[in-house]
Amino acid sequence: MTEAALKQERARKLAALETAMGHPFVDRTLLELAITHSSLRDPWTESNERLEYLGDSVLGLAVAEHLFCAFPDEAEGELTRLKSLVVSRQGLSRVARALDLKTHLRVGKGIRKRGAIPSSLIANAVEALIGAVYLDAGFEPARAFVLRQFEPLLDGLTRRREEKNHKAVLQRTIQKRYGTTPAYRLVDTVGPDHRKEFVVEAVVGERSFPSGKGSTKKQAEQRAAREAIRALKKSDDETDAGEADA
């Protein structure tokens, strides 16, 4: 293949990667750099290591901001755990597969001869791409790229958290049935100051439900919501059984 044909093929592949990313680069040399591994390095070729370093920080900020807003009731430790699930090697590898990134990477002959490109290398290149988008267009486009590419993981977290979020489930149930929202009332606090527990009950209009207890008010509210859901389900089951008997 002639040099001109090689350049044309290279440009075609870069355009395909831009399309998959959903980001047309103003400076396409940044995209080329992002897919260039250090194994290809020579005195005239720079690698993507610096972009990887930058992209790691941009990725962390974008995901941390998203989780902070998506889960306002979660404490720092839980937000940190959720973030680690998203920006993990597995998460990066999933994005790399969606972009078919391994077909675009520029690596040394030694790596190509071994056969499969290591997944860690491909995952690192995702961070380099994020860094490249950031330098090309700024934080907002980089943030949008991150949220777009990691959307399946982030949506999965939201669904799983909602399943465990008894307050959210109770609120949807009460809104659907009664067109209002439940309130939470502090009934009591028990125990010494260093091991204090809060007792909370869910209230809908004049009706109160069995209370829940927790070491924090938020935890007690979640448990109170769980008790309310159980009470509503029991009431529904009893109604269904009565109708069946009739």
List the catalytic residue out of 3, 32, 74, 127. 127
**Do 162 and 170 form a contact (C-beta atoms < 8 A)?**
no
Q: Would residue 56 show up in a list of annotated catalytic residues for this protein?
A: yes
Q: Would residue 78 show up in a list of annotated catalytic residues for this protein?
A: no
**Do 82 and 157 form a contact (C-beta atoms < 8 A)?**
yes
List the catalytic residue out of 32, 52, 56, 227. 56
Q: Give φ, ψ of 37 to 5 degrees.
A: -80, 155
**Do 48 and 29 form a contact (C-beta atoms < 8 A)?**
no
Q: Which residue has the tokens 């109170």?
A: 224
Structure tokens at 13: 């592949």
Helix axes 76-86, 151-164, angle to 10 degrees: 140
Residue 239, exposed/middle/buried by CB under 10 A (0-12, 13-18, 19+)? exposed
Q: Indicate which residues carry an active-site annotation.
A: 56, 127
